[in-house]
Amino acid sequence: MRVVIPFKKENAKTRLSEILSEKQRQDFALEMLLDVISELEASEKFNEIEILNSSIFSIMNTEFPGNVNVLLSEKDLNGALNEYLEKLASHNMDEVLIIMADMPLVTKKHLLELTSLTADLVIAPGSRGGTNALLIRKPDKFHVDYYGTSFLDHLKIAEEAGLSVDIYDSFMMSTDIDEPKDLVELLIHGKGRAAQYLRSIGITLDTNTARLVFNNYK
Amino acid sequence: MRVVIPFKKENAKTRLSEILSEKQRQDFALEMLLDVISELEASEKFNEIEILNSSIFSIMNTEFPGNVNVLLSEKDLNGALNEYLEKLASHNMDEVLIIMADMPLVTKKHLLELTSLTADLVIAPGSRGGTNALLIRKPDKFHVDYYGTSFLDHLKIAEEAGLSVDIYDSFMMSTDIDEPKDLVELLIHGKGRAAQYLRSIGITLDTNTARLVFNNYK
């Protein structure tokens, strides 16, 4: 199966700017991406892993845990992904998973479960109405519409196209990391590089209050 | 199987007090409880549904969707539940599900999946390190420790007691309703009485921004 991961390192995770420097946000975004790719590889479900990026410079020196293609697009998220889907459709290719790079709690187990669902469209909802993963089995009949409550938008697009839908309900996959409070979830449940990165720069968890602690903060 | 639901109507959901009056918070808390009980009933898994409450007055006129026992305790959450577990153990009763009343996105499907897991302890994590459901198969060997990151505490208690643990990973079950932003999740994903209640008092969702809208607000 093919998987595409939109990724942006420049100006990444601006809502974390009150607690992380620009360099730290970039490093952290990359660690989350690497966590996601590790699990995609571990699942042994994906023979084509593609990163959709606006700049080659941001990841050109990165060592990825597996074979990865980097696709460049200057379009916005919806524009770039819909162009990608059109290209798949025009080459008669089916089945692609779109997965976000900022969901470091995803594991191989989730990916195996999600891809075993059989509907035309499988959606893993994110918090705040987001869409954290979309398995699209008929790229010729679907287009994405991220931003806002994209979960509801994607349900509607599928309905209008007569596509069947399965919802993959996972707390871990719903946890996208946008705001400082999301780091709490990562420190509680995370076992990968992104959680380790936070600890390495001195961000830990107060388990009495479930709040972040900034310890020897670098 | 036996299930116990801690419930508090007085001073319920104080973190919603900026947008709901005390009466509304009480009504809303009750609607959420009724949603949970409806799904427990629908699952046909539970022959004993018990509500653990500090006052009989708060729910004495409520019509429940099923047979419900009301247990009274003046102890705090941990004290009341641990006393309950001790009583079960002393009567050689096994298997009890503890489920929170403020998780109106739970469905029959979740309850069937969760109870089909076979470990000594099954935990459904809540956001912010919470524990939204606990299936305890050996009440003589476990005690609860809510507050703070109870999810981690419960894992630790199980480990120290030599109990096996399954984690039931569901976004819908992780969504407990404490703060205004949690209402966004309820309005996006909710199909029951609690979501309907919010709409009835004029609280809806702006699907462009995923923010609450207070419309003809009562």
Interval B132-142 mean pLDDT = 97
Whole-model pTM: value is 0.94
Three-state DSSP class for residue B3 = strand
Check CB contact of B94 with chain A, cutoff 8 Å.
no
d(CA A206, CA A212): 6
A119–chain B nearest CA distance, Å = 18
Q: Which residue of chain A is at minimal alpha-carbon distance from B173?
A: A171
Q: What pLDDT score does A8 carry?
A: 85
d(CA A82, CA A145): 9
d(CA A130, CA A146): 8
The residue behind tokens 């104080």 is B14
Check CB contact of A125 with chain B, cutoff 8 Å.
yes
Put simply, the answer to whether B127 touches A171 (Cβ < 8 Å) is yes
Residues of A with Cβ-Cβ distance to B148 under 8 angstroms: 207-210
One DSSP character per residue, A123-185 reads EEEPGGG-EEEEEES-GGG-----SSSHHHHHHHHHHHTT--EEE---HHHH----SHHHHHH
Put simply, the answer to whether A184 touches B129 (Cβ < 8 Å) is yes
Q: What percent of chain B has pLDDT over 70?
A: 99
Put simply, the answer to whether B185 touches A127 (Cβ < 8 Å) is yes
The pairing of beta strand A96-99 with beta strand A131-136: antiparallel
Q: What pLDDT score does B218 carry?
A: 61
Tens of pLDDT along chain A (218 residues) come to 999 999 987 788 899 999 999 999 999 999 999 999 999 999 999 999 999 997 777 777 788 887 899 999 989 999 999 999 999 999 998 899 999 999 999 999 999 999 999 999 999 999 999 999 999 999 999 999 998 999 999 999 999 999 999 999 999 999 999 999 999 999 999 999 999 999 999 999 999 999 999 987 66
d(CA A43, CA A111): 7
Interface test with A, best of B109, B171, B189, B205 (most A CBs within 10 A): B171
d(CA A13, CA A60): 20
Put simply, the answer to whether B128 touches A209 (Cβ < 8 Å) is no
Put simply, the answer to whether B210 touches A185 (Cβ < 8 Å) is no
d(CA A179, CA A15): 5
Put simply, the answer to whether B184 touches A151 (Cβ < 8 Å) is no
Q: What pLDDT score does B167 carry?
A: 98
Give the Cβ contact number of residue A135 at 10 Å: 23
Query: Which tens digit of pLDDT belongs to each residue from B74-116?
Result: 899 999 999 999 999 999 988 999 999 999 999 999 999 999 9
d(CA B87, CA B136): 14
Give the Cβ contact number of residue A160 at 10 Å: 10
Check CB contact of B188 with chain A, cutoff 8 Å.
yes
d(CA B67, CA B61): 14
The gap from C-alpha A52 to its chain's centroid, in whole angstroms, comes to: 11
Q: What percent of chain B has pLDDT over 90?
A: 84
The pairing of beta strand A165-167 with beta strand A131-136: unpaired
Check CB contact of A75 with chain B, cutoff 8 Å.
no
B201–chain A nearest CA distance, Å = 21
Check CB contact of B127 with chain A, cutoff 8 Å.
yes
Burial group, residue A103, by CB count within 10 angstroms (0-12, 13-18, 19+): buried
Task: Give φ, ψ of B118 to 5 degrees.
Answer: -110, 0
Domain A2-174 sits in CATH at 3.90.550.10
Q: What pLDDT score does A218 carry?
A: 61
Check CB contact of B176 with chain A, cutoff 8 Å.
no
Contact A177, B178 (CB under 8 A): no
Q: What pLDDT score does B10 carry?
A: 78
**Residue B170 is nearest to which of A128, A148, A169, comparing CB atoms?**
A169
B129–chain A nearest CA distance, Å = 7
Domain B2-175 sits in CATH at 3.90.550.10
Check CB contact of B152 with chain A, cutoff 8 Å.
yes
State the average pLDDT for chain B: 94
